Chain A
């Protein structure tokens, strides 16, 4: 399976995603340049973390107008997998692939830490190798990670099982203390209506090696393989 990783000006986790896919999961990966229109036959698109266009105006707001994004949106509309991590989640929201928005963290500071997230739905193409309720250790690093949406959108997301990850403590409680950025209802990641676009603030590609502290992110990438391959 081929992963296409988009490099926007200011992307800085493209390299990490590339290595997680190729070295850890053992699949093919290619970088996709933001000025191009060619997805190079990629099966899965990753919108990586970073500061696309310096996060000027608003995180993700300019990147959504990149030439490559027209193809990414079309890819998503066709039901193919798109994974937006951190800045990629912000871009996916700005591009209308996911509902809601990512706002400045409630404490107004950048937060870099290993957090715990609870798997809310293990029946998606991104989470089928996890158990529902399982608590994962994954790093976050962002200044604008507070997920917000209107109450009815939040209710709908929760009702439809589209909230995929929630910030939680070691015992799996989605408590206020475990929420690193003030996200509504501790939401760390959501999926699109069609179930093929996942956006999340934590960085699964940074949790792919016991040497670096956690390998809980590996199964997210492997889940995509098992589903798409099936």
Chain B
């Protein structure tokens, strides 16, 4: 029936125009072959968005397929808006992580805010009410004024959005490293809770069912955001500021309530966020999942400006919009719910039997693709992967060959410098800007090993955490990938939770460079090994490639978002020392590995050596032993040893909680086969510091699990110092020194003027 004709006024397709859309010649030829004719400008736009790396995963898909994705409790794995796992009692948890790196590099406030908005929508479109937000942030070093601008803008953007919607931001991580100087990483994770029967999938079904656009109106903002996220950042990136969307958390809050009501109402069969590539990707993906055809009339889409072309309407990334497939005859029911929340709903299309994806402008067809081939015909690439010899050389450097600095004779000097390294220092400056207690479920908030939220109506709680270490992955992607998963698992286990499942955000450079693709493949392989050993399948996530600036690629940085389940909320365990006289134990090996450590980076300015070994099977045994001890009720506190090693972990146990400081006396003199600095600052994996009133019972549990465990000291609530005896020397530090280094560093740096930052001008309050 149909005839697609070019629209009057649309540009003619030329090789230059194709290139501008980020498509290769071969990809354009593929499009022409699929259509059997020349594409229209609208069709070119649609394909450029859907076949962008961001939407299509064309370089990453075959590698991602190697990850484990199933477990008896996984209700929804990858491929939907968010993953979903059952936690028993008829309840389920939906969760997902996503990147907003490129927008945040150009416009930190809106970039971060809309990242939060998008991930919230991914979770509530599954039928879950969001209960927690987390975020993993990476920036350059804070001595740079632009980095301070980015850091404060991102934090304010996250805070303003999440606070207004009323979802607590409870955990995350913030890392500072020159590798992220001009390409910060902003990964946001959302966790939602639902009744299993409310689970809804974004699958268009039922011929004749109306397709409706709900929520905010469509404007010209964010056009081609998905393509922008799929190319390297450059000097010219600033000119792409208009591709960055503007968020309105107030509308999001209304849309959240309206959407949950819609899902409960029985008026709809499917719902999906109009996220990256907007109406185009949401409609095409829903049609593909349901194996049906759709037709959309762009003149029916509510717009906020006049004269928008089909191209613009299809590719707009205006925020706070949803695409809904309603049941035929229930349109008024949908409208009534939206109108209660002062939002619009308009029928813009229909599910059709004809296997076609059709866009009309009134009666005129402006774009048409056969079947679901728009989604399924996307090219898939398996580029060359080859490790860089420079990195092999770095890895083969022996960290012990680096001589200690003269100042290191005084271990307190080193400890102080590490504690005040912004990556290790307290991030309270940022967390204070996030409402972490709204919804009154936050049992453990920001600053612990993982956050813990109670599950109302049950005796359970869930623990959540994001983790990643780009430096390890850079030096050895396979090992780094394993560690990312293992550390996240250890973190949730320290609160008393059993690790259940993960979502991942894979931040890498340009995949067409063999050394980058090697990192990607290897890191995913390492993650897969750890996920299998730990029994934590991947339920979804996001890949962000092209994280490169003229200065080069960022460290390859897979970020893991882990969900853990606490069966008995009375067993929730804190990370800091609690009781005077408790024994301090080290569960796991002493190790002393310095490769890739924060110590080498901060004290020596070197990123070298092999990262610490990581045996996922052993990690599982450590976690099982820890959980058995917690279950036995003999653990007062548990804290993972990570960045900065044992000395930093011990210092954190003493002073991280300002309301409950403790001193400690530690004796490590028996580890004479290791260097003193290796003992203090080595980052050997699979280690947990436990404080306990019944050390013999912890030792017995560890022995049964075949994991080394040693009593290394005692908590002294009334002592004002941390004292560590080493084989060849000792460290005695007043807590006041540690406290100042840990708590005052970031506030002191950020109280310097933040150049060209007036975020109030950007916030919606002032913008309206």
Q: Report which A residues bind B (CB closer than 8 A).
A: 9-10, 12-13, 15-16, 19-20, 49-51, 53-57, 108-114, 139, 141, 143, 203, 205-206, 208-209, 211-212
What is the CB-to-nearest-CB distance from B431 to chain A, in angstroms, rounded to a whole number?
7
Bound Cα distance A51, B254 (Å)? 11
A16–B442 Cα distance when bound, in Å, is: 12
Complex interface residues of chain B between 128 and 162 (CB less than 8 A to chain A): 156, 159-160
What are the residues of chain B within 8 A of A10 when measuring CB–CB? 164, 250, 253-254
- Whether B433 lies near A54 (C-beta < 8 A) is no
- Chain A CB within 10 Å, residue with most, of B156, B159, B438, B443: B438
A56 pairs with B437, CB closer than 8 A = no
Q: Is the CB of A51 within 8 A of B433?
A: no
Residues from chain B with a CB closer than 8 A to the CB of A49 are 438
List the B residue with the shortest CB-CB distance to A50: B166
Task: Identify 27 residue pairs between A and B in the complex whose beta-carbon atoms are under 8 Å apart, listed by A's number.
Answer: A9-B250, A9-B253, A9-B254, A9-B342, A12-B165, A12-B438, A13-B166, A16-B439, A16-B440, A49-B438, A53-B250, A54-B248, A54-B250, A55-B765, A56-B250, A110-B159, A110-B433, A112-B431, A113-B432, A141-B163, A141-B436, A143-B160, A143-B163, A206-B440, A211-B443, A211-B454, A212-B437
Interface flags, B509-531, vs A, CB<8A=1, else 0: 00000000000000000000000
| Complex interface: chain B residues within 8 A of A9 (CB) | 250, 253-254, 341-342
Q: How far is the CA of A56 from the CA of B166 in the complex (A)?
A: 16
List residues of chain B with CB within 8 A of the CB of A112. 163, 431-437
- Extra pairs beyond A55-B164, A110-B156 (20, CB < 8 Å): A10-B250, A12-B165, A12-B166, A12-B253, A12-B439, A16-B438, A51-B163, A54-B164, A54-B248, A55-B250, A57-B765, A110-B434, A112-B434, A112-B435, A141-B438, A206-B437, A206-B438, A209-B440, A212-B437, A212-B454
The residues of B that contact A53 with a CB separation of less than 8 Å are 250
B165: chain A residues within 8 A (beta carbon): 12
Q: How distant is B256 from chain A, measured CB to nearest CB, in Å?
A: 10
**Chain B residues with CB below 8 A from A208, complex form:** 440
* Distance in Å: Cβ of A24 to nearest Cβ of chain B: 10
Q: Does B65 interact with chain A (Cβ within 8 Å)? A: no
Which of B164, B437, B442 is most buried by chain A, counting CB atoms within 10 A of its CB? B437
Measured between beta carbons, the chain B residues less than 8 angstroms from A212 are 437, 440-443, 454
Q: Which of A10, A49, A203, A206 has the most CB of B within 10 A?
A: A10
Q: In whole Å, how far is A227's beta carbon from the nearest beta carbon of chain B?
A: 25
Q: Which 10 A-B pairs have the closest CB atoms?
A: A12-B166, A54-B250, A141-B435, A51-B164, A16-B440, A112-B435, A139-B437, A110-B433, A206-B437, A110-B159
Q: Chain B interface residue count: which class? A: 35 or more
Residue of B with least CB distance to A141: B435
A111 to B437 Cα, complex, angstroms: 12
* Chain A, residue nearest B256 (CB): A12
Task: Please tell me if B569 contacts chain A, counting CB pairs below 8 Å.
Answer: yes
Nearest CB of A to B698, in Å: 25
Q: Does B764 contact A (CB under 8 A)?
A: yes
Flag if A15 contacts B439 (CB, 8 Å).
yes
Query: Could you say which residues of chain A place their CB within 8 Å of the CB of B437?
Result: 112, 114, 139, 141, 203, 206, 212
Tell me if B678 is interfacial: C-beta within 8 Å of chain A.
Answer: no
A208 to B442, CA, bound (A): 12
Instruction: List B contacts of A57 (CB < 8 A).
Output: 765, 768
Q: Which residue of A lies closest to B159 (CB)?
A: A110
Chain B residues with Cβ below 8 Å from A55 are: 164, 250, 765
Q: Interface centre among A53, A113, A143, by most B CB within 10 Å?
A: A143
The chain B residue sitting closest to A208, CB to CB, is B440
Partner of A211, one of B159, B254, B434, B569: B569
Specify the chain A residue showing the minimal Cβ separation from B750: A109
Task: Report Cα–Cα, A13/B434, bound state, in Å.
Answer: 15
Name the distance in Å between A178's Cβ and chain B's nearest Cβ: 14
Alpha-carbon distance A143/B163, docked complex (angstroms): 10
Q: How far is the CB of B209 from chain A (nearest CB, A)?
A: 29
A10-B253, A12-B166 given; A205·B248 CB < 8 A:
no
Which residue of A is nearest B452, CB measured? Answer: A211
Kindly list chain A residues whose C-beta atoms are within 8 Å of the C-beta of B433: 109-112
Min CB–CB distance A189 → chain B (angstroms): 18
Task: Using CB atoms, name the residue of chain A closest to B165.
Answer: A12
Please determine whether A54 and B440 come into contact, CB atoms closer than 8 angstroms: no
Q: Is B249 an interface residue (CB 8 A)?
A: yes
| Contact, CB under 8 Å: A110 / B250 | no
**Per a CB cutoff under 8 Å, which of A16, A56, A211 touches B764?**
A56
| Chain B residue nearest in CB terms to A209 | B440
A208 to B165, CA, bound (A): 22
Say yes or no: A51 contacts B253, CB within 8 Å: yes
B288 CB to nearest chain A CB (Å): 35
A145 vs B726: C-alpha distance when bound (angstroms): 50
Shortest CB distance B99–A (Å): 24
Please report which residues of chain B, range 401-456, place their CB below 8 angstroms from some CB of chain A when the two chains form the complex.
431-443, 454, 456
Nearest-neighbor residue (CB-CB) of B342 within chain A = A9
Contacting residues, chain A, for B163 (C-beta < 8 A) = 51, 110, 112, 141, 143
Within 8 A of A (CB), among B587-640: none
How far, in whole Å, are A16 and B166 apart by their CA atoms in the complex? 11
- The minimal Cβ–Cβ distance linking A124 to chain B, given in whole angstroms, is 24
Q: Is the CB of B160 within 8 A of A54?
A: no
- B328 to A: closest C-beta gap in Å: 30
Given A12-B166, A109-B433, A211-B454, does the pair A51, B249 have CB atoms closer than 8 Å? yes
Give chain A nearest CB distance to B299 CB in angstroms.
29
Interface membership of chain B positions 158-177, coded 1 if the CB is closer than 8 angstroms to chain A and 0 otherwise: 01100111100000000000
Cα–Cα distance between A15 and B341 once the two chains are bound (Å): 17
Q: How far is the CA of A56 from the CA of B253 in the complex (A)?
A: 14
**In the bound complex, do residue A110 and residue B435 qualify as a contact, i.e. CB atoms below 8 Å apart?**
yes
Distance A109 CA – B442 CA, assembled complex (angstroms)? 22
Chain A residues with CB under 8 A of B768: 54, 56-57
CB-nearest residue of chain B to A170: B659
Closest B residue to A55 using CB positions = B765
Interface centre among A108, A109, A112, A139 (most CB of B within 10 A): A112
Instruction: Enumerate chain B residues within 8 angstroms of A12, measured Cβ to Cβ.
Output: 164-166, 253, 438-439
- Max chain A Cβ within 10 angstroms of own Cβ: one of B254, B342, B440: B440
Q: A51-B253, A56-B250, A141-B163 given as contacts; is B440 within 8 A of A205 (CB)?
A: yes
| Given A9-B341, A110-B159, A206-B440, A54:B249 Cβ within 8 A | yes
Q: Which residues of B contact A20 (CB under 8 A)?
A: 440
Across-interface contacts of A108 in B (CB, < 8 A): 760
A211 to B439, CA, bound (A): 14
Instruction: Give the chain A neighbours of B431 by CB distance below 8 A.
Output: 112
B765 contacts across to A, CB distance below 8 A: 54-57
- How far apart are the CA atoms of A211 and B432 in the complex, in Å? 20
Chain B proximity of A25: nearest CB distance (Å): 14
Chain B nearest CB from A169 CB (Å) reads: 12
> In the assembled complex, how far is the CB of residue A196 from the closest CB belonging to chain B, in whole angstroms?
26
Question: How far apart are the CA atoms of A16 and B438 in the complex, in Å?
Answer: 8
Chain B residues contacting A54 (CB-CB under 8 Å) are 164, 248-251, 764-765, 768
Nearest B-chain residue to A203, judged by Cβ: B437
Q: Known A16-B440, A54-B249, A141-B438; judge A110-B166 contact (CB<8 A).
A: no
CB contacts (< 8 Å) of B164 on chain A: these are: 10, 12, 51, 54-55
Complex Cα spacing A148 to B406, Å: 55
Q: A109 — which chain B residues lie within 8 A by C-beta?
A: 156, 432-433
Q: What residues of A have a CB within 8 angstroms of the CB of B438 in the complex?
A: 12-13, 16, 49, 141, 206
Cβ contacts under 8 Å, A19 to chain B: 440, 456
Smallest Cβ-Cβ distance to A51: which chain B residue: B164
Interface centre among B156, B441, B765 (most CB of A within 10 A): B765
Residues in B with CB closer than 8 Å to A143 are 160, 163
Q: How far is the CA of A141 from the CA of B439 in the complex (A)?
A: 12
Q: Which residues of B contact A56 (CB under 8 A)?
A: 250, 764-765, 768
